[in-house]
Structures are given as structure tokens and as C-alpha cells.
Structure 1
Amino acid sequence: MDSSVQSDLTQVAEVPDATSTQQRPAWNSVLLVLTCTLAMILNTASAAGLSIFYPVIGADLAVREELLQWLTSAFSLSSGCFLLLFGRLADLYGRKKMYVGGTLYLGILHLGCGFAQNSTTLFVLRGLQGLGAAAFIPACLGILAQAFPPSRARSAAFATFSAGAPLGSAVGTQIGAVLTEYTSAFPPLSCLTLASWRSTFYLLAGISLLCAIGGLLLIDADLPSTEPDRRVDWLGAFLVTVGLVFVVFVLSQGSLASNGWKTGYIIALLIVGVLFITLFIAWQYHLESSPDNRHPPPLMKLSMWTRAKGKFAVVQVIAFLQWSSFISWNFWGQLYYENYLHLSPVHAALRFLPMAIAGLACNVFVMLVVSRMPLVVLISTGTLLTGLAGLLFAIIRPSASYWAYGFPSTIVSVCGADFVFAAGTLFVAKVSLPHEQSLAGGLFQTLTQFGTAFGLAISTIPFNSVASKSVSEENEAPLEAYKAAQWTSFALAMFCTLLAVVFLRRVEPVGTDERRKEE
């Protein structure tokens, strides 16, 4: 292994964490992992899994096609912008509290979405929902890192947790499509206003309640943080949150504004957002380099990014770009099936069903090999395969069989997302201190959520550019527009592969059975 990486891992390993040594029955450990996995299922289904019936929502509430991405972006906006703060609060004041509160909050807003009568209400509620995910996802990562010290059990726990992502996509896509298409035809449900797309939100509200109950019963009671100074850097939290809100908003809205990226308020908000993030970085540097009892410790130590000779930062960047590629492939693939091929939500969802099965297989594979396969092999292979998914859609022929392009694309698409998430979170947990596990996990999730908005924004640019040049008589985007968006997905994944091959060499497997010892 790279000596600097091994040194960082050893230093972290030597920090005691009394909470990780608690003994619990095997059945309790299994149920704890399943509870956190259910929360990941809920998060993915809430974030991106619902996009399969966005066209139905658009028709019902009169939402233009180019605005539909906001139903995903609004969730990612609030979720991604508050993950750092909520991760820090979870580490300081209790991961169980954040988990239970976040799942209950999300469930209440799912009910609100189900009863929304206009697009404005739905967009606002979708934006507010992200706060719930921002609360419980970092908490989950901290809970698992606390409950399982570096071991094969930790590898299994994180791989199982990662498997919640493809399962969540299946819940949101397949089950959501079935509910959307068939509940309106069932009189006992339609009379209770459970018909069409609304029923899926009610289902997710029920899953949220189940997550909260599981958390109350199975998660260990919160123990005091081992960090001496438990004050919160509220100024830093304000700076980074405002900066991320502006930047993510610009990424989501830039291509939709009246004059595109040249629109005045888009340029202004981008400048302001970058300024706030720059001020946040400068403030964190000041707090870490010049400790002063008058000020709290930094919200995010900048030295975290230099751990493992900068490989911590590389893994975070790969997570950001990989998620950009995967989400853009998924979003434009669904719109291609529904808006270009005019398939029903159920028939479109069936074409993505193999993705959930492949995702489960990927995570089982990671569980088995993560203690033996170098990190670079796992991540570069995954990102390469996700890029292949975008390539297949970029050269797709509508007249060809689904088995020629659609099926293999769906199979390989999740490899990057699952390989990067499972191996990446293990690596991040291993080089993070016990009292910053939720913060580090929140940072990882921030980059993936930020990547969601970035991927949709960057792929919308070529889509709109091609679509504006050639629009059919039915006012539908041409095939070339969907292909242009998928070429963007392919390019993002290939860049991830390049980063992994160049910068993650000589990093040994991250899922070892015992803590590494300094040579």
C-alpha cells in the first residue's frame, strides 16, 4: 500500500472509540443494518426513483417537460446543502436523534406531496423533503461505522447499506409505476384520492414511519461525543449552506432560464454562490490553522481532504462525477422511453427492473471481494461500466430490440454507483476519526447530491441545444437530443475512470478484516 495511505489509516485506527466495541446479539446487528438499509431505500426512492411518473405529474398539474427535473433537483438541492451541517450535528448531539427525526419529518412531507393540488405546492414540498434525508443519511453512516469496527462485518454492513440504492430505485420506479397506472382503476382507492401518482407518496410515507420505528427500537442510545469542544461553527454552516444553495440552484435552473446561462440573475447567483463557498473555505482554514477559544472548531477540517495523500479528495470527486453520470443516464433514459417511445409508466419501469437486480448482485460482489480487491480496480471497473451504459443509449436505434441496447445498458449502469458508494464509504470511514464519521459520510453524500444537480444541468445543455434546432410537428424532442444528453453521461464516467486509474493506484483493499498496522 502507499505508505502515506497506510500511515493515515493506522493513525485513525489508534483512536479509541468505546461505542464501537459494544457487544450486541447477532440478530440485533442484522436488524440494525436492515433498518439503515431501509432508510437508504427510502432516500433513493424519494430522490430519483420517482422520476418514472414525472410525465404523469406534468400532465395532471400542467408542468412543462423542461421543468420536471426540478422534482428531482429540488430534493437534491436541500438535501445536498444541509448534509454537512446535519452530519456535524449528528456527531455532536446524537445520530439516533437525527435518524428518527429525519425519517418522521420526511414521512410527513410525503403525505403532503400526496395531497398537493398544484405544481407550486409540490415543488416547495419536494424542496423541503430533502432536509429529512440530509438528517438521517449521514446519521446512518455514522451509526454503522460506530456499531462495526473495521472488519468483515463492517464491509458486509456498508455493502448491504449500499444495496439500498438500487432497491430504492426499484421501489420508486417499478412499484411507483404500478401504483400510478392501476390505483385509479380501483374504486375503493380512487374515492380516497389515492389514485394515480399520489399513491406512491403515501407508500413512501408508510416506509418512513417503519424506518422511524425501527430506529427507535434497534439503534443504540446516543452517547456523548468524544470531541472536547462541542460547539457548532454556525457561521461556517451559514456560509457553506447559502453558497451551495445558490450554486446548485444555478446548475438546475441555468439551462431553463429565459436567456439560458447568459441570464442576468443566473450569472449573479453563480458569482454569489462561489463567493460564499470561497469565504467558507477561508473561514475553515482560519479556524483550523489558528485555534482560538473564542471560536468553535471548524465545521469541516480542510485537512480531511489531504488525508491518504489526497486520495480522500479524489474519492470524493469521483463520487461527485460518477453520480452525475449515473443520474443523467437514468433521467434521460426514462424520458426517452416515455416521451420519445411513448411507453406507459409501467412498461417504461419494466425496462429498468434489471437495474435493481444487477445492483443487488453488485453489492454482494463488493461484500465478497472488497477485502481482497484493490480500491482502484473496484472503482475504475464500476465507472467504466456505467460509462458503457451511457454509450449504449448514445448510439441506440429505436427500431432495435430492447435486448440489444436497453437491457445491457440497464445491467451495467449501476456498477459504478454501487462500487463507488460501497468502496468509497468504506474508505472514507476508515480515514475518518470516530467523532467525525457522520460528518465525513455527510460530505460524501453532499458530493453525490451535488452531482445529481450537476449531471442534470450539464446534460440538459446539449439536450436543449439539439432540441431547439430540430423540433417535430408534435413539439417533441428529436432522438438526437436524447443521444446528446447520453454522450454527456458517457464522458463524465470516462473522466471518473481516468481519475481512479491515475490517483488511486497502490491503495490496498479497504475492507480488510483487521486494522492495518504501520510498517
Structure 2
Amino acid sequence: MAIDTTTETATPTPPLGTSRSPRMSTRDKLVLFVLCAAQFMVALDFSVLNVALPVLGADLGMSPSALQWAVTAFALPSGGFLLLFGRIGDLYGRRKLFLTGLALFAAASVLATFAWDPASFLTGRAMQGLGAAVIVPTGMSLLTTTFAEGPARDRALGISGTLMSLGFTIGVVAGGVLTDALGWRSTMGLLAVFALVVLPLAPGLLPESRTPNRPHLDVPGAITVTGGLLSLIYALTTAADDGFARADVIATLIAGLALLAAFAVVESRTESPLVSLPMLRRRTVAWGNLGGLVTFSMMSTVVFVLTLYLQEVLGLSAWETGLVFGVQGVMSVLAGSLTPRFISRLGARRILVVSLAGQGAFGVALLFLNAHVWSVWLVTAAVSLASMFHLGAIISYGLTVTSGVPDEEQGLATGLVTSTQQVGITIGIPLLGVLATTSGDLLSGTRTVLALDAAIVLAAAALIAVGLRTGRTAGSGESGSGAVEAEPVGSR
């Protein structure tokens, strides 16, 4: 039977992972399996379809320009509605919303698998994106409210972060294998199978949690932030293929920035804001999310330009390119098992800074690649080691942002974490990746992008180190999650 903590009169149920035993109980592991499997499934969806797009387009009669919508139809709702659904979960029940998102994602994946024309396929993709926008923030907030802050949460977030990173990598490899063997529909069918396996397990395992004293939903804030995110994501994903010169890209970019500015004004004046401005002024939230934005945007750019480099400059096949990034996935798993241990000793904020510095340093090593085939070994080694630090940054920025946040605001905090992730993945390629494809010389363009990428990551590491240096450790010190007091940005 599921644990119910939805009423103020109910006897509080201790978070999982608080027993004296350092090991997780069987129930702990099952809860973690359900939550991580759902996050892995969504991460897989971001990349599994990419290599199948040409085959899909030929089968459904979609033009090359229309294929962009196979990605955009998912990216728009998955990024635009994250904050809204994270907050709705806080107010009305995270477990309930999580199950709804899983059911929607399963139905959408079945529709996309059996799509008979472009309209039905894009409808399925949009529904998948909406389901992902529900699953990701509610799943993350269920994890952070279910596992007690400290070693239990560190370990749970470490496993979750590892599987999310692995999902992106496996998606690229699995997409190519499945498309060659079974056709593009098998990539969507794989997602349907995942959802249909997880969905029956979740109701009896996951505890319900929500804010006992339910405030009103901030409708003006919800409209402005959702509209702003949708506009920005549309502009950036479109610019990745067609550049920033198109009128609709410019218009939606301006509209997105204007709506986000209006959102800030609305939140400063409402009694029950969708996003608490004091929360955004917490050092851990502000600097932690900057770290997440940088690590996701810059690593997605590296993977994009190196995929082009390996195939167009070195002449590797899609399968051989997948193997290179498969090594990256293995190293990410290793990093996922080690990072929580380092965090328990050094604290999340220190690991965040070290991880960004490491990611940037191995980015610098990639500047030595050239047109000789032996460079594939440099790429494999440097990207794999950079990915270990990247995974460390993913885990530590999530812990930095959510540590010390009250349970009733965990959906909001994890919504910010996942929004940062989605925006980061979205902006890296259009802002930097296009330099490689428009420079005229792909090798020279790749080096330029990698140099800028490394410089941005190293600069961010330095800024975050300075920004968090005045944060005082909370409670018993900076053990476990390395929690830092919620000190407003700009104080002292």
C-alpha cells in the first residue's frame, strides 16, 4: 500500500533511507528503480530518434525542413511546462501527477509507434513532451522528498544522474541499431515498453507528498513563464537548423524574453508566487543552476560537433561513432558510483566547481585533434574523461540546488533544476554548434567551437567558486549533500 502523507493530521512517515543500516532496503531499491527508470526513459527519448529521422521522413512523407518538428514538437512542451507541473505537483500531489504523466507518455509512445501520417506522429511527439514535463519534475521531487537529505539522497541522486546521462548516450547507439534492424517505429516502441513496464509498479510503491496548506496556483505567473519558455525553446531549436535570421525566430526570441521579464514582475507582486523570488536569490539555487546550465549546454555542444567531426573529417560510420560515445557512457556509470562518495567528503558545491573545471580541462585537450585517424583515440579518451566530470557536475548541481529547500517547495526546486537541464541542452547547439557547420572548414570550425566551449566552462567554474565561497555550511557541516545556507545572492 502506498504511503499517504497528504493531510496535516496524518502521522508523519519517515523518509526512506533513514534507517541505521547504510544499505538501502528492498523497498528503497524498488522505489528508486521506478523513479530512475522513468527518468532514464525520458532521457532516452531526447536522443533515440535522431539517427532515425531520414528514414522516418521517407516513410511518413515528411520533407527535410518538416523533420525539425519531430524534435521541436517534443522539446517545446517538455521544456516549457516543467516549472508549471513541478509546482502543480507541490500543491495537488506529486505521486498523482507522476502517474498521470507516465500514463500520458505511454499512450503518446504507442501513438507515435503506429503513426500513419505526419500529423499523428507529431501529435504523439507533443504528447510525449507533455508527459515528460510532468514526469521529470515530479519524479525528481518524489526522489528528494522520499530519501532523506544526506548520504541516502546523495546516493539516490547519483544513481538517477548516472542513468539520465547514460540514457542520452544509449539513445544515440540504440537508435541506430534499432532503426537498421527493425525500422524507425521500434525506437518509439521501445519507449512505450518502458512506460508500460514502469506504470503498473509505481502506484503501490511511491509515497504521496504535497504541501499541506495549499495556496492558490499563481495563474498569471504560470502563463508568463510557460509562454516565455515555449517561445525561447521554439526560437533556439529553430535557429539550430535555420539560423537566427528568420523573422519568426527573432519574434519569438523577443517575445520569450519579454514574457520572462513580465514573469519576474508578476512574481514580485503576488502573494503566492509560482516561483519564490527569495528562492532564486539563494546562493545555492542561483549558482547551482548556473553550473547546471553550463555543463548541459556545453557538453551537448561537444557531442554535436564531435559527431560531425568523426563522420565528416575522420570518415567513421554512424555505428563506429556510436561506439566512441558508448565508451563515454561506461565512464559516466563509473562516475555515478564515485561522485556521491566524494560529495559526502567534500560537499556538493566543491564537487560542482571541481567537476566543471575538469570538464573544461579535457575540453582543452580536444583542441589537439586533427584530420588523422589516430585522433579518434584522443576524442575517445578526452570525451570519456570529460563525461566523468560532466556527470559529477550533474549530480552536484542538483544536490546544491535542492539541499536545504523545504519539502513543500521541492517540486519548485526540482522544476528549476530540470528546466535548467532542458534549456541547457537546447541552447548549446544553436549558440555554438552552428559555428562548426557554417565556418567553411569543419575541422577549423570544430576547434573554434571546442575552444569557446572550454573557455565558458572554465570561466563558469571560477565564477561559481567565487559565488559560493561566502556560503556558510548548514547544520553539522558540509558533509553529505554539502548543504549551504540559503544566503541571498549579493549579501555580504
**Aligned equivalent of 1:11:** none
Partner residue in 2 for 1:82 = 81
Q: Which of 204, 210, 214 is the matching residue for 2:201? A: 214
- Residue in 1 that maps onto 2:276: 301
The residue that corresponds to 2:5 in the other structure is none
Deviation at 1:370, TM superposition (A): 0.9
Structure 1-normalised TM-score? Answer: 0.81
Distance 1:428 1:162 in 2: 14
Equivalent runs, 1:206-355 vs 2, <5 Å: 206-220=193-207, 222-223=208-209, 225-226=211-212, 228-254=213-239, 256-257=241-242, 260-287=243-270, 291=271, 297-307=272-282, 310-355=283-328
CA distance in 1, matches of 2:56, 2:356: 32
Could you say which residue in structure 1 is the equivalent of 2:444?
Answer: 480
For 1:495 and 1:59, locate their aligned partners in 2 and report how far apart those are by CA, in whole Å.
Answer: 44
Distance 1:152 1:52, change over 3 A: same
Q: Find the counterpart in structure 2 of residue 13 from structure 1.
A: none
Q: 1:373 aligns with which of 312, 322, 346?
A: 346
| Gap change, CA 1:513 and 1:376, over 3 Å in 2 | closer
Give secondary structure in 2 for the equivalent of 1:380.
helix
Partners of 1:339 and 1:63 in 2: how far apart? 25
Q: Deviations over 1:251-310 (max 9, x none)?
A: 2223544xx4343333222222111111111010001xxx3xxxxx11111110122xx3
Deviation at 1:364, TM superposition (A): 1.0
Q: Distance in 2 between matches of 1:93 and 1:254?
A: 37
* 1:497 Cα offset (Å): 1.7
Does 1:201 pair with 2:188? yes
Distance, in Å, in 1 between the alignment partners of 2:111 and 2:174 is 20
Further displaced range: 162-171 or 358-367: 162-171
Partner residue, 1:18:
12
Offset of residue 325 of structure 1: 0.5
AA partner of residue 107 (structure 1): A
1:494 matches 2:438: no
Deviations 1:56-75 (A, max 9, x none): 54666677778766544543
Please identify, of 88-97 and 507-516, the stretch whose mean Cα deviation from structure 2 is larger.
507-516
Matched, 1:457 2:430: yes
Moved more, 480-489 or 162-171: 480-489
The letter of the residue matching 2:145 is Q
Distance change >3 Å, CA 511–CA 66, structure 1 → 2: farther
Which residue of structure 1 lines up, in the alignment, with residue 480 of structure 2?
512
Tell me the alpha carbon deviations over residues 82-115 of structure 1, each in whole angstroms, 9 at most, x when there is no partner: 1111001111111111222212212222223333
Shift of 1:176: 2.7
- Unaligned stretches of 5+ in structure 2? 1-9, 487-492
Bigger RCO (CA 8 Å, 6+ sep):
1
- CA RMSD in angstroms comes to 3.1
Distance 1:158 1:432 in 2: 15
Matched, 1:158 2:131: no
Identity of aligned residues (%): 24
CA contact (8 A) 1:158 1:422 kept: yes
Distance in 2 of aligned mates of 1:159 and 1:46: 20
Contact 1:380-1:501 within 8 A present in 2 as well: yes
Alpha-carbon displacement from aligned partner over 1:229-268 (angstroms, at most 9, x marks no partner) = 43211221111111111112112223544xx434333322
| Secondary structure of the corresponding residue to residue 344 of structure 2 | coil
Task: Output one character per residue of 1:111-147: Cα deviation in whole Å (capped at 9) or x when no partner.
Answer: 2333345556545543432211111111122112221
Residues 177 and 18 of structure 1, relative CA distance in 2, 3 Å threshold: same
Residue 283 of structure 1 aligns to which amino acid in structure 2? V
Matches within 5 A, 1:303-452: 303-307=278-282, 310-401=283-374, 404-452=377-425
Q: Supply the distance in 1 between the matched residues of 2:323 and 2:13 (Cα, whole angstroms).
A: 44
Of residues 275-284 and 419-428 in structure 1, the stretch that sits farther from structure 2 once superposed is 419-428
The aligned length equals: 468
State the match for 1:6 in structure 2: none
8 Å CA contact retained: 2:170, 2:329:
no
Contact 1:80–1:447 under 8 Å retained in 2:
no
Work out the CA distance in 2 between the residues paired with 1:269 and 1:262: 12
Provide Cα deviations, 1:163-211, integer angstroms capped at 9, x if missing partner.
1113313431233322222x2xxxxxxxxxxx22221211111011122
Which residue identity lines up with residue 422 of structure 1 in the other structure? I
Q: Shift of the alpha carbon at 1:390?
A: 4.1
